[in-house]
Structure 1
Amino acid sequence: MTWNWERLDWPDFTHESKALQALEERFLVQSGELVGIQRHIGADDQDVLRIELISDEAVKTSEIEGEILDRDSVQSSLRHQFGLGSTSLRVKAAERGIAEMMADLYHNFAQPLDDATMFAWHRMVLSGDRTVRVVGGYRRHAEAMQVVSGPDYRRKIHFEAPPSSRLRAEMKRFNAWFNATAPGGKRPLAALTRTGIAHLYFESIHPFEDGNGRIGRALAEKALAQSLDRPSLIALAWTIERKRKGYYAALERNNKELEITAWLSYFAETILEAQRNTIRRMDFFLAKAKFYERFRGKLNARQDKVVARLFAAGTDAFEGGLSAENYISITKTSRATATRDLHDLAEKGALTRTGELRHTRYFLNLRQWG
C-alpha cells in the first residue's frame, strides 16, 4: 500500500479548478446571507447566538471522536472566555479545554499559523488527559502511527501517517503552505479549495498522538474565517457529525493519491451544507426572539414550559409534532387542562394545529413571528 505522503511529488496536491467554481460562488452567496441575518439580531442576542453556535461546534467536534461532553459546562466556560460572566459550574478539564480552543480560534483566526498555536490547541484539547505521552508537541514514538479497525486477527489499516522523525520538516512545510495560500499570501487559494486541501493535508500528516481530528477541523474553520475576514460560525463539525461515516470514508478514499478533486468536491459540499444549517439555525433563533417578544407575559407557567421545551429541541423540533400526551408528560397536568392550554396556544397564534382527535398535533408557529 502506497500512501499519499510516500509519493515522489508529495505534497503537491492537484485538482480540477472548474469542478469547484460553482461551489466557490455559492459559498460567497451564502456567506452574504449569513451576514444579512446577523444584522437583524440585536447585540445581546448575538452574544447568546454566538455561544450557542460555538458550543455546539465544540461538543460535536469532540463527539465525532467518540468523546461526549456536557453542553452546559462548555457553554459556561465559553461565556467566561468571552467575558459574559464567571463560570457558574464546576467545569471539567475536557469541557474547559475545548471551550478555550474554540474561543482562541474565534479571537485569533487572522493570525498566521505556527507550531506554537497548534501546540497550545493540543494542550487545550487534551486538557486532563493522562494517557497521551506528548501533550503540546508533535508525536515522538518510533512505532507507526496508524488508523485501524477490527480485531487483532483481522485488523484493517485505514491509514498510516509519516513516521515521527519526519514531522518537524513536514509541519514546517505545512505551516508555510497554509500561510502562503491565505488571502494576502504569496499563493492565495479560493476559500473552499484551500480549506479542503488544508484539512486533508493536515490529517495525512497526523502529527499528534491524539486530537488530530479536532485540530484538523479547527484548521478548516480557521481557513474559512480567514477567507471571510471574520469568524465563520459555520456549523461544520455539527454537520459532519450527522454524517460521520461518510466523512471518514471520504478521508480514506483520498489518502493514497494526490489528485483530490473528488475530496475537494465532497468537502466543499459539506461546507455548503454546514452554511445552510447555520442559516436555518440563525433564522430559527431570530424567529424565537420575535416569538418571545410577541408572547412575553401572555402564557401561563405550563405553556411557557412546553414552549421552552419545543425551542430547546431546535430546528428538528418534536418529530411528528406535539401531542396532548407530550403536553401532559411535560407539565404533569390533567388531560382537560392540557386540552384547554393547547387550544389557547392555537387561538393566540403561538402554535399551529393539524389533524383531529387523537391525531391532533401542534407545531411552533414561527412563520407569523419570524
Structure 2
Amino acid sequence: MAASAPLYTWQQPDWPQLRYDAAAASPALLRARELKGEVSGMARAIGLEGLVEAEQELWMQEAVATAAIEGERLELAAVRSSVMRRLGTGDDTGPTDRHVDGLVEVIYDATTNFDQPLDADRLCRWQSALFPGGTTGIRRIAVGRYRDHADPMQIVSGLPGREVVHYTAPPSSSVAREMDAFLAWFAQTQRAGMDGIARAAIAHLWFETIHPFEDGNGRVGRAVADMALAQDTGASTRLFSLSRQLLVDRKGYYDALSKGQSGGMDVTAFVQWFAQAFGQACIASSQVIQSSLERSRFWSRHARYALNERQRLLLCRLLEAGDGGFLGGLNVEKYLKMVRVSKATATRDLSDLVRNGMLHTVGQGKALRYYVTVPGWTHGVADDSGLQGGAAA
C-alpha cells in the first residue's frame, strides 16, 4: 500500500526550507512599508514627548489583544498599571497582577531589546514569564523549557469525545533540533538583508509550526514577530499593535496559519496575508497617534482655564471616546450618573465648559446635548449650523 502524502509542512522532505516569491508578494509588502512609513512620519512630526500617550495606548492594545487571541481576558486597569510602570510613565499605585506583568515584560523585552540575540534561553524565559505560578488554570505545565511530553502536541477544538484536531506539531523529541534550525535562520536572515516584513511573517509561521512549548506558543510567537519588526525598524518605540489587528481578524489569522502549516515550502500566501494585516495595524496606529495628538492640542488650547476634578475627568472621558464615540451625546442626566453632585452643580459644570469653549451644545430643552469641541470632530451631527454656546477658536 502506498504511503499517504504528508499532511503538514514539517513532514515534507524539504522542510524547513521555507521560501516566498518576492515578485508575487511585492505589492503587499510595498503597501505595508508605505503605511509603516506614514506612521513613522507622524511619529517624527509629533516628537518623542508627544508620543508618550500614544505609545502607552499601543502597548496596552498589544498586551490585551495577544492574550485575547488565546481567549484570555485581562483586567484593563492592571494592564494600564503594568504598562505605565514598565514605560516609567506612572506611579506604582495601580493594581498589580503577576500574570499581566509577565506578559508586558515579554512584549517589552522583544521590542526594546531587539538588538540582543534570540536564543533558546531567552525564549524559555519569555514562556516562563507568562506562567509565574507554573500553571495554566489549575493544570501544571512545563515552564521555562521546551515541551518533552510523549503525547502529540495538537491544537484541538470541540467537546470531549467530539474533538476536532486542527493541527499536530512535530514530536517533542525533535523540538530542540527544530528550534536550533529556526534560531540559526533568525540570526542569519537579520544580517542577510531579507525583507523585514516578510522575515517577520516567516518567523512567526515557522515558530508556530514547531510549537515548542507546552503552552504560550501564540503569545511567544507574536513576540518573535514583534522582535523581527522592531529589528526591521531599528527602533524600540512601539508604533503599532500587530496583535490588535490579528484579533480583529482572528478567524483569518487562524486560517492563514493553518494553510501555511499544511502546504509546501512556498509560503508566499502567508507572507501576503501577514503584510496586509501589518498594513492594517499601521492604519489603526495612525488613528491612535492622531487621536493622541488631538487630545494634546485640546489641553494646550485650554490650559489657561481652571477645572475642577469632575470637569477634568469628564473631558478625559469624552476625548478618549473620540469623534462620535459617546453614544447619543452628553446631557445633564448622563453626567449626573458619573458624578455625585446636585443637578444645579452638574448644570453649572457643563455651562462653564461651554462658556470656555471646551464643550458646545446641539439642540434645545430636553434634546440639549453637549459635545467636546475638537476641530474636525462632527460627533455624527450632519448640520453644524445648529451649534450653540462657545466653540473653540
TM-score, normalisation: structure 1? 0.88
Identify which of 250, 254, 258 aligns with 2:256.
250
Where do 5+ consecutive residues of structure 1 fail to align? none
What letter is aligned with 1:219? V
CA distance in 2, matches of 1:193, 1:63: 25
CA distance in 2, matches of 1:63, 1:316: 26
Question: Residues 13-28 of structure 1: matches in 2 within 5 Å?
Answer: 13-28=18-33
What letter is aligned with 2:326? F
CA distance in 1, matches of 2:257, 2:327: 32
The reply on whether 1:159 has 2:167 as its aligned counterpart is yes
CA distance in 2, matches of 1:110, 1:321: 47
What letter is aligned with 2:232? S
The Cα shift of 1:3 comes to 1.1
Where do 5+ consecutive residues of structure 2 fail to align? 1-5, 377-391
Q: Deviations over 1:324-353 (max 9, x none)?
A: 543332235566665665565455443455
SS in 2 for 1:291: helix
2:284 alignment counterpart: 277
The Cα shift of 1:117 comes to 1.5
Higher Rg of the two aligned structures: 2
CA distance in 2, matches of 1:363, 1:27: 36
The reply on whether 1:288 has 2:307 as its aligned counterpart is no
1:102 alignment counterpart: 107
Question: Residues 59-138 of structure 1: matches in 2 within 5 Å?
Answer: 59-84=64-89, 87-89=92-94, 91-130=96-135, 131-138=139-146
Q: Deviations over 1:258-307 (max 9, x none)?
A: 33232222211111111111111011111111111222335454432221
1:228 alignment counterpart: 233
CA distance in 2, matches of 1:113, 1:21: 27
Verify the 8 A CA contact 1:24 1:191 in the aligned structure 2: no
SS in 2 for 1:255: helix
1:267 alignment counterpart: 274
The Cα shift of 1:210 comes to 0.5
Identify which of 8, 16, 21 aligns with 2:13.
8
Q: Deviations over 1:129-184 (max 9, x none)?
A: 323432111100000000011122321111110000110111011111112222xx
**Most deviating of 5-14 and 66-75:** 66-75
SS in 1 for 2:161: helix
CA distance in 1, matches of 2:333, 2:256: 43
CA distance in 2, matches of 1:17, 1:92: 44
CA distance in 2, matches of 1:252, 1:180: 26
The reply on whether 1:32 has 2:37 as its aligned counterpart is yes
Change (3 A) 1:48 1:10: same
CA distance in 2, matches of 1:261, 1:356: 59
Change (3 A) 1:17 1:328: same
Verify the 8 A CA contact 1:132 1:209 in the aligned structure 2: no
What letter is aligned with 1:194? R
Verify the 8 A CA contact 2:332 2:347 in the aligned structure 1: yes
**Most deviating of 57-66 and 250-259:** 250-259
Verify the 8 A CA contact 1:132 1:210 in the aligned structure 2: no
